[in-house]
Amino acid sequence: MKPTLVLVGRPNVGKSTLFNRLTKTRDALVADYSGLTRDRRYGMGRVNEREFVVVDTAGFDPVAKDGIVHEMARQAEQAIAEADALLFMVDARSGLTPHDEQIASRLRRVGRPCYLVVNKAEGMNKPMIAAEFHALGLGEPLCVSAAHGDSINALMELVLEDFPIDPSDDEPAPKGPRVAIVGRPNVGKSTLVNTLLGEERVIAFDMPGTTRDAIEIPFDRNGKHYTLIDTAGLRKRGKVFEAVEKFSVIKTLQAVEQCNVAVLVLDASQDISDQDAHIAGFVLEAGRALVVIVNKWDAVDDYRRQRIKDEIARKLPFLGFARFLYVSALRGQGIVPMLKAVDGAYAAAMTKLATPKLTRLLMDAVMRQQPPRHGGFRPKMRYAHQGGMNPPVIVIHGASLDHIQPSYVRYLERCFQEAFHLEGTPLRIQFKSTHNPFAERDA
């Protein structure tokens, strides 16, 4: 069993920077901005031959009573409850603060090993800056620089020395579909994630922009493994002003590109907007399998439900390959069919298509409807094979295929999707024309 190390501290002391250093990733958003992290993030770290789980938390305010700061504190408290050891981070350049003393008072009552990490100590007299932090009563202060990597290995060797090496730590993690939950702000993405997990794993708060980062969460249901990715809501480009929000948008777009299945969440209480169509178009452009969830279905009447269905047909006609489900994330209604749809979309995206069957289907499609002529020539298709997965790519070989019309490409896509039951995934068709060895000769 890998030990779980939780990073705790007030805002802007470098917890996310240390998280990225330990996991050798850039998963956590980092900026000179207080309160950037809100949800807890898990990652795998390794120092020499030792592996561990590291948890990044939001800036911790143990006396917060309400609002988003209280929700952030609850996330930190849950991480502390799961910890095998705590790394309490303070800022060498700011010195000891009353906020640090409040956190230290809380951590002394936890009953878990706690290491006092004095960050941002590069270029400073370490014994001098460490002196005042002895007052926290958490043992010897350990001076490091997460940004520069100073003394990080020594810190981790000290933290891990009391944890035995478990041979099972080398077992590979189970694989499964990566599922990105995407949509506009405040449509219920985080509520959907929490309902799937059966716990308040991410902050769900009635305020647009609550989620700022893309949070990856391993998840098992009925023996199947998934990785859920809760993402920040995507607003129109003209309404994105803060630099932090711009980074959040980038992280969301990266999550879509790196996932296997995207779950687009729409809000039944609001009209289908151009931004919904824009997000769906980005998923389609990325070639990702897609399930569309219309959330808050329990909160609208029959008239509103029919209006939403009419708007979907009018504004999202290009998503004919995807399944649409009507759910209530808050009440847990429609969650089981959603997971079945995700499984189906993932299977379709990763399906293997046999070359003989692809070629026969191609010939049947051409027999039913030949491609339009271009000038005096009609494109001639000879055979097809699979060129990739996620999304499925079909490569068609023949002559004069550069002049195939888009409408005929859509016709072929429908033929292949129906024949192979590729519900939930887009399909890509590529054409390769045979080189004519006589084309460059003089007549």
At a CB cut-off of 8 Å and minimum separation 6, what does 440 contact?
none
- At 90-145, the pLDDT tens digits run 999 989 999 999 999 988 888 889 999 999 988 888 889 889 999 898 889 999 99
Mean pLDDT to the nearest integer, 77-89? 88
For residue 323, which of 185, 177, 422, 222 has the smallest C-alpha distance? Answer: 422
Under a CB-based contact definition with an 8 Å cutoff, are residues 87 and 159 in contact? yes
What is residue 30's predicted lDDT score, i.e. its pLDDT?
A: 52
pLDDT band at 88 (very low <50, low <70, confident <90, very high): very high
H-helix or E-strand containing 21? helix 15-23
Spacing of C-alpha 171 from chain mean position: 24
Give the three-state DSSP class for 64: coil
Question: Which tokens go with 320?
Answer: 């004919």
Q: Which residue has the higher pLDDT, 329 or 59?
A: 329
Phi and psi of 245, rounded to 5°? Answer: -65, -35
Buried residues in 92-118 as b, exposed as e (16+ CB within 10 A): beeebeebbeebbebbeeeeebbbbbb
Query: Can you give the residue ranges of every domain in the chain?
Result: 4-170, 178-349, 355-433
What is residue 243's predicted lDDT score, i.e. its pLDDT?
A: 46
Average per-residue pLDDT in the chain? 83
Matching CATH topology for 4-170 and 355-433?
no
The count of residues in the chain is 443
What is residue 208's predicted lDDT score, i.e. its pLDDT?
A: 46
pLDDT at 442 over 50: no
pLDDT at 436 over 60: no
pLDDT at 276 over 50: yes
Query: Could you give the C-alpha distances from 142 to 7, 91, 97, 158, in angstroms and in order?
Result: 14, 12, 17, 10
pLDDT at 184 over 60: yes
Instruction: Show the DSSP H helices in 235-301 as ranges.
Output: 243-258, 274-286
- β-bridge partners, 439: none
Residue type, 398: G
pLDDT band at 27 (very low <50, low <70, confident <90, very high): low
CA dist 35 and 87 (Å) reads 18
CATH fold of 355-433 reads GMP Synthetase; Chain A, domain 3 (3.30.300)
CATH fold of 178-349 reads Rossmann fold (3.40.50)
CATH fold of 4-170 reads Rossmann fold (3.40.50)
pLDDT at 176 over 50: yes
Tokens 């250093």 found at: 21
- At 282-339, the pLDDT tens digits run 899 899 999 999 999 998 999 999 999 999 999 999 998 999 999 998 888 888 899 9
Under a CB-based contact definition with an 8 Å cutoff, are residues 182 and 256 in contact? yes
